[in-house]
């Protein structure tokens, strides 16, 4: 078996890498891999983006993904995306210009704005979101349930680490 080649042909030997050089080998590999994966996802998203008067990108996809299940207030959408209200307003302006969303004052509280995908654009939005996620979905489909669960758990933990971690605290010690 070659270095980095696991007991299953073509699958990396992550346990072997950890034994050989500790977590640093795996961390370095992931640090090289993540930017390539993100570039690939952006390129694929760009290829699936519908032609609209507005330039749309990853933040627009993220906002539409949140709106997919129904209307939200702008504040709730901003909180879910981890963005400021002004940034979300800019994202929504682009989606509005593209004809994908509509905004209306909340009848219960006129200070709040409700945003939703327009009924006429729902089909195009669904195709775009499903198309943008297709490579990821294909890879996840090839994983066993326990592998998918472990992968998602690791991504959630990593995201939480970046959200709450102190960059100056490399080893987690006080």
For residue 98, the domain's CATH number is 1.10.10.10
67: in domain: yes
Find the domain containing 103 and state its range.
58-128
Within a domain: residue 63?
Answer: yes
Please check whether residue 75 lies inside any domain of the structure.
yes
Q: What is the pLDDT of residue 48?
A: 72
Q: Residue 17 falls within a domain, yes or no?
A: no
3-state secondary structure of 73: strand
Instruction: Determine the distance from the C-alpha atom of residue 162 to the mean position of all C-alpha atoms in its chain, rounded to a whole number.
Output: 14
What's the pLDDT tens digit per position in 18-70?
Answer: 455 567 898 899 999 999 988 888 777 777 777 776 778 888 989 999 999 99
Q: Confidence class of residue 83 from pLDDT cuts 50, 70 and 90?
A: very high
Q: Which residue has the tokens 């994966």?
A: 37
Residue 167 pLDDT grade (very low, low, confident, very high; cuts 50, 70, 90): low
Q: Where are the beta strands (DSSP E) in the chain?
A: 72-73, 101-105, 113-117
> 């709106």: which residue's tokens?
67
Count of C-beta atoms within a 10 Å radius of residue 128: 21
64 in a domain, yes or no? yes
- Number of structural domains (the chain) is 1
171, part of any domain? no
131 Cβ contact list (under 8 Å, min separation 6): 48
Q: What is the pLDDT of residue 3?
A: 47
More confident residue, 148 or 169: 148
Strand order in the sheet with 72-73: 72-73, 113-117, 101-105
Assigned domain for 27 exists: no
């Amino acid at each position: 078996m070659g270095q980095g080649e696991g007991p299953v042909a073509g699958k990396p030997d992550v346990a072997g890498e950890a034994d050989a050089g500790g977590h640093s080998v795996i961390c370095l590999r992931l640090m090289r891999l993540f930017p390539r994966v993100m570039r690939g996802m952006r390129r694929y998203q760009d290829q699936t983006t519908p032609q609209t008067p507005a330039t749309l990108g990853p933040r627009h996809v993220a906002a539409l993904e949140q709106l997919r299940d129904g209307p939200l207030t702008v504040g709730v959408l901003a909180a879910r995306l981890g963005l400021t209200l002004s940034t979300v307003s800019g994202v929504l302006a682009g989606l509005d210009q593209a004809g994908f969303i509509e905004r209306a004052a909340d009848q219960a509280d006129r200070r709040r704005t409700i945003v939703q995908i327009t009924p006429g654009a729902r089909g195009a939005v669904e195709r775009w979101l499903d198309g943008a996620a297709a490579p990821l979905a294909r890879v996840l489909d090839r994983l066993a349930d326990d592998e998918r669960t472990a992968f998602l758990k690791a991504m959630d933990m990593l995201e939480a680490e970046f959200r709450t971690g102190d960059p100056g605290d490399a080893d987690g010690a006080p």
